[in-house]
């Protein structure tokens, strides 16, 4: 269900775009609406508007979202959502594309000269990153040292 509203304007009226959640007259209606349109600046007078069911809008937006992460120069992992227009529907149950990246790729991307400049990375930031990486590598080494080597003939055909 989409409704349109159009109002004739007197000359030289300044209008502005708006988006709002529409208040439904019947609270038992299960689908909420969003109203997109234009109104006269400084007033609540709507010039043109369209109401779109929230479910339809949320599905359209979430089907184009991609979840990735980036690494800061001091070693923090930051999740990021980006809008990828024109993507086919994802197969994940959340409706959001999830892109994995190997750790070494994140580190390379973090240490590009352009990224370090944009992030205003300091020597202290990079020292913190190095210490976190060394601590992480030490944890992996300790785990590997505690493991017993699995027999190599396990998957061999007899």
| Strand boundaries in 90-131, DSSP class E | 97-98
Residues found in the chain: 158
Which whole-number Å values give the CA distances from 122 to 1, 35, 119, 144, in the listed order? 55, 46, 9, 33
Q: What is the token pair recorded at 44?
A: 């609540």
* 2-30 b/e (C-beta count within 10 Å ≥ 16 → b): eeeeeeeeeeeeebeeeeeebeeeeeeee
* Domain map (residue ranges) of the chain: 3-55, 63-146
One pLDDT digit (tens) per residue for the chain, 158 residues: 445 555 565 667 888 999 998 766 665 555 688 999 999 888 888 889 999 998 888 887 777 788 888 898 999 999 888 877 655 555 555 567 777 889 999 999 999 999 999 999 999 999 999 999 999 999 999 999 988 877 666 665 65
pTM as predicted: 0.54
């Amino acid at each position: 269900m989409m409704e349109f509203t159009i109002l004739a304007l007197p000359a030289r009226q300044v209008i502005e775009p708006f988006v709002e959640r529409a208040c439904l007259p019947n609270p038992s209606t299960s689908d909420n609406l969003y109203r997109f349109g234009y109104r006269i600046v400084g007033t609540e007078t709507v010039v043109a508007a369209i109401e779109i069911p929230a479910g339809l809008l949320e599905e359209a937006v979430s089907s184009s979202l991609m979840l990735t992460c980036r690494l800061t120069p001091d070693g923090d992992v930051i999740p990021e959502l980006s809008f990828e227009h024109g993507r086919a529907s994802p197969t994940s149950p959340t409706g959001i594309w999830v892109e994995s990246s190997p750790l070494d790729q994140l580190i390379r991307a973090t240490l590009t000269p352009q990224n370090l400049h944009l992030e205003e990375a300091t020597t202290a930031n990079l020292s913190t990153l190095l210490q976190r990486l060394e601590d992480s590598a030490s944890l992996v080494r300790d785990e590997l040292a505690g493991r017993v080597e699995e027999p190599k003939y396990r998957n061999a055909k007899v």
